[in-house]
Structures are given as structure tokens and as C-alpha cells.
């Protein structure tokens, strides 16, 4: 069962400049920064609030580290902006299978490693009214 909005992914050309905008404008501070080599991105997670299920909601800022990454291709086509929405779940495997059984294309056969040690998969935007949708099971210590 999907329990919360885990994060909103925002593609950007300059991570440091974008982080500074969110810090200066809204007071959001960086909770976590990492490079995900598999996905070809440098990312910052800005924690917005805690949630009833013990998780949290974030803004995820994504800067491509190589031109062939999905985010780089998306930026070239669309420019900066909202890239995806992610919903939190205690069981990314079970929920992705249940959603697949409803006719929605799940982009990964098996969930992959995401930010801060989470497990993730994506749903095809053409099956989700044009929205790239991510399902996330947080790592146990992520709050």
C-alpha cells in the first residue's frame, strides 16, 4: 500500500545553484547528497517534513553526471523542472507487482538501489497520465 509522497524529483542543470535557490527561497536544507553512478546523476535530498508512517517527504534535485543518463536526455528535451513523483511503500516488490497486474508497465524487472539505500522502481509515464512515477521503500534508518 502506498503510504505517502516520498519525494518529488526535479531535474536541474546545476545542482549547487538549485540547492541554493531552495535554501534561500524556502529555507530547505540538504539532508543528503550522493552520486548514483548507475543512474548517472548527482543528487541532493532536501527534507521537507516527517510523516505518520515514520518516513519523510523530500525534494530530490537531480543533476546529470553524463550525457547518456535518463535525466540528461530528459533535460535536453524538456529543460529544468519536475521530472517525477515518488510514492513511499513498505513493499516495493509487492506493490509494483500488484500495479503491474493492473496493466501498468513497471520499468524494472526487479527493484534497484535508490537514494540513501532505498529500493526503487518506476512506472511508465504513458500508463500514468504522463507522469513518471517512482515507488520507493526507504532504507530502515532513513528518517
Task: Identify the residue whose cell numbers are 513497471.
Answer: 106
The DSSP H or E segment spanning 24 is helix 15-26
Distance CA 19, CA 30 (A): 8
Q: DSSP string spanning 76-99?
A: HHH-SEEEEEEEEES-HHHHHHHH
Active site residues: 7, 43, 60, 84, 134
25 grid coordinates: 527561497
Q: Which residues contact 40 (CB under 8 A, 6 or more apart)?
A: 64, 65, 66, 68, 69, 70, 71, 72
Amino acid at each position: 500500500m502506498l503510504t505517502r509522497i516520498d519525494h518529488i524529483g526535479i531535474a536541474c542543470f546545476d545542482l549547487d545553484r538549485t540547492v541554493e535557490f531552495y535554501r534561500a527561497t524556502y529555507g530547505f536544507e540538504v539532508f543528503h547528497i550522493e552520486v548514483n553512478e548507475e543512474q548517472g546523476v548527482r543528487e541532493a535530498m532536501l527534507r521537507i517534513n516527517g510523516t505518520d508512517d515514520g518516513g519523510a517527504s523530500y525534494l530530490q534535485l537531480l543533476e546529470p553526471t553524463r550525457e547518456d543518463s535518463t535525466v540528461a536526455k530528459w533535460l535536453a528535451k524538456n529543460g529544468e523542472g519536475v521530472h517525477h513523483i515518488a510514492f513511499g511503500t513498505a513493499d516495493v516488490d509487492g506493490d509494483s507487482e500488484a500495479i503491474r497486474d493492473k496493466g501498468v508497465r513497471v520499468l524494472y524487472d526487479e527493484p534497484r538501489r535508490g537514494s540513501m539505500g532505498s529500493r526503487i522502481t518506476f512506472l511508465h509515464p504513458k500508463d500514468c497520465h504522463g507522469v513518471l512515477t517512482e515507488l520507493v521503500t526507504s532504507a530502515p534508518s532513513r528518517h
